Structure 1
Amino acid sequence: MRTNPTGRQLRVGAELRKLRERAGLSSTAAAQQLGMKQAQVSNMETGRVGVSAERVRTLASQYDCSDPALVDAIAGMTGDRKRGWWEEYRDILPGTLLDLAELESNSMRLRSAVTVHIPGLFQTTEYAREVFRQSVPQLPPPDVEHRVSFRIKRQAVLFQESPVPQQVFIHEAALRMKLGGRDVTRAQLKHLLDMNEREHIAIGVITFDTGVLAGSGQSIYYSEGPVPHLDTVNLDQSHGPVFLDAEAQLHKYRVLLDRMEAASLPPAKSQDFIHSVVHDL
């Protein structure tokens, strides 16, 4: 039995619980219907035991789920779990950070919105180092370097053979924040310009002229799954990532990101705007 299930394993269990609850069954009633013990149902739903794709389909059938795309998507999250590069950090960094890397590697598309920092997947090494140096409580130098290397390795999803599409909304405040000084900021913005030229990346700048915009006071990171029901929102908090997947929450953050898209400059004009900020440094 697993003692520390990963975020992906927890999500499979949570989705099985949602299927059961939509069927109007208690865990006890479901166990009786499936010929199992109630503890077995609970352990599956909390990610403490593995679930095969075949078991997922059996459960979905018993729960009268009429959404084959959803069932296929959940089944696709099961089976033998491949050991990702992030596992080398298992005893070094918090598990939620590893869950974030695994989430990114399985995402169909990533959308993010930030106000005061450049998004992590677009940070240079020096910029990331300055971000982590500001942590409270202060991180020891070795821990800073572990987090920097982890953040840079996460960026592989942008450079692999089939890169994950990215849509990013960056507030002007983040562009003008001289984190680490002018040289670090200039190098960071030039890197951002280079990334915006890639076909699978679209960067939109939200200028000061936009005024107040709903959701702009927080960092939003939205991962699209194989079906919308399996999307995930990550909110970057000072104590670490917080993952949300309730249907109402997903809808809320889709709306917020859509509003930010409507308020931001298109990628070409954003490119020109970032050039102007670099010129002002």
Structure 2
Amino acid sequence: MRPRSGPTVEHRVLAVRLRLLRERAGISLQTAAEALDAHPATVRRIERAETGLDARQVGELLDCYGVPAAVAEPIMAGLGAANLPGWWHRWRDAMETWQQDVIGVESSASLVRTWHPALVPELLRTPAYAAALYRTQYPDDTPAQLDRRVELLRERQHRLRERGAALWALMPAAALHTTVGGRAVMDEQRERLTEAARRPHLTVQVVPLDHPPHAMTGVPPLYLLRVPAPEIGDQAVLETPGVRVDIVDDPETVMNHRIRLDAACAAAPHPGMPLPGN
């Protein structure tokens, strides 16, 4: 069973290492499962970080793969940290299942690139702007539940800044003309974007209303996440609001999304230009 709060990057890294060690040893899933006296699905779940890393099971798998002590010992030593819940665990009641997986990667990302076709991208929203949207997106939530969602977003933004991760956001000027929460909320949001654009590690590009179509025109909200761990490739998160969210780690597919976003950013006004309407 997948941990309720989603796996941390440390957990994902160890899971990938276990899969690579099995494959390099030429051991099948069936043989690995027999070493655990379990079903092959159990090994697959371990390798996909969909279940906790049990020390006994991991030790038996490493023995089965003939892993030398110099390689096995750091893996075993890292199990404790890998099994710890992520910082976002306390907000799991305010998260969708897919958000748990995304935030698990985002929390260690060195670069986050984001596009939204109609609204201010999530990681740049003020609490008031976010709250106004949440009231529309989650009409059945109580005020306390809505507050929890806002708290989580603020914590994500804080941690991104705290570790100096790079954030590159692209949005259409239409996002600044869509009134969310009233004029005062929008004025504050504009001020926040202007301030954010001056911060290091943060790039904000706004496509003017009279700009011709570009590579991201009509594309749903997109996140590209890069983690400085060779075991974990770049990931793309494509959201179709109210329908589904696709989390993609296939290198070719992620590359295609990155190429489209690169093209749109290259065609947009240079970062640092005044926000439309300012």
TM-score of the pair, normalised by structure 1: 0.75
Contact 2:7 2:86 (C-alpha < 8 Å) held by counterparts: no
Structure 1: distance between partners of 2:77 and 2:259:
27
Q: Which amino acid aligns with 1:234?
A: V
Match for residue 236 of structure 1 among 210, 214, 239: 239
Q: What's the CA shift for 1:277?
A: 1.4
Q: What's the CA shift for 1:142?
A: 2.5
Q: What's the CA shift for 1:7?
A: 4.1
Contact 1:7 1:96 (C-alpha < 8 Å) held by counterparts: no
Unaligned segments of structure 1, at least 5 residues: 64-73
Q: Would the alpha carbon gap of residues 212 and 38 (structure 1) be closer, same or farther in structure 2, given more than 3 Å must change?
A: farther
Q: Would the alpha carbon gap of residues 20 and 175 (structure 1) be closer, same or farther in structure 2, given more than 3 Å must change?
A: farther
Q: Does 1:44 align with 2:75?
A: no
Q: What's the CA shift for 1:139?
A: 3.0
Q: Which residue matches 1:209?
A: 210
Q: Would the alpha carbon gap of residues 195 and 48 (structure 1) be closer, same or farther in structure 2, given more than 3 Å must change?
A: same
Q: What's the CA shift for 1:226?
A: 1.5
Contact 2:180 2:186 (C-alpha < 8 Å) held by counterparts: yes
Q: Which amino acid aligns with 2:277?
A: V
TM-score of the pair, normalised by structure 2: 0.76
Structure 2: distance between partners of 1:213 and 1:78:
46
Q: What's the CA shift for 1:166?
A: 0.8
Q: Would the alpha carbon gap of residues 178 and 104 (structure 1) be closer, same or farther in structure 2, given more than 3 Å must change?
A: same
Q: Deviations over 1:110-165 (max 9, x none)?
A: 111112111111111110111111116543332222111211111113431x3211
Q: Which moved more, 1:127-136 or 1:184-193?
A: 127-136
Q: Which residue matches 1:69?
A: none
Which secondary structure does the structure 2 equivalent of 1:230 belong to?
coil
Q: What's the CA shift for 1:83?
A: 4.2
Q: Would the alpha carbon gap of residues 37 and 235 (structure 1) be closer, same or farther in structure 2, given more than 3 Å must change?
A: same
Q: Which amino acid aligns with 1:212?
A: P
Q: Which residue matches 1:200?
A: 201
Which secondary structure does the structure 2 equivalent of 1:80 belong to?
helix
Q: What's the CA shift for 1:36?
A: 4.9
Structure 1: distance between partners of 2:209 and 2:85:
44
Q: Does 1:87 align with 2:84?
A: no
Which secondary structure does the structure 2 equivalent of 1:144 belong to?
helix
Q: Which amino acid aligns with 1:277?
A: G
Q: Which residue matches 1:179?
A: 180
Q: Deviations over 1:52-71 (max 9, x none)?
A: 8xx69x87xx69xxxxxxxx
Unaligned segments of structure 2, at least 5 residues: 67-74
Structure 2: distance between partners of 1:50 and 1:3:
11
Q: What's the CA shift for 1:25?
A: 6.3
Q: Deviations over 1:205-236 (max 9, x none)?
A: 22233322233331111110125752121223
Q: Would the alpha carbon gap of residues 222 and 156 (structure 1) be closer, same or farther in structure 2, given more than 3 Å must change?
A: same
Which secondary structure does the structure 1 equivalent of 2:137 belong to?
coil
Q: Which residue matches 1:110?
A: 112
Q: Would the alpha carbon gap of residues 48 and 227 (structure 1) be closer, same or farther in structure 2, given more than 3 Å must change?
A: closer
Report percent identity of matched pairs: 26
Q: Which residue matches 2:69?
A: none
Q: Which residue matches 1:248?
A: 252
Q: CA RMSD, aligned part only?
A: 3.6
Which secondary structure does the structure 2 equivalent of 1:234 belong to?
strand
Q: Deviations over 1:63-109 (max 9, x none)?
A: 9xxxxxxxxxx999965134443221234433433333332220011
Q: What's the CA shift for 1:176?
A: 1.8
Q: Which amino acid aligns with 1:147?
A: R
Q: Which residue matches 1:66?
A: none
Q: How many residues align?
A: 259
Q: Deviations over 1:227-246 (max 9, x none)?
A: 57521212234357542212
Q: Would the alpha carbon gap of residues 214 and 41 (structure 1) be closer, same or farther in structure 2, given more than 3 Å must change?
A: same
Contact 2:105 2:227 (C-alpha < 8 Å) held by counterparts: no
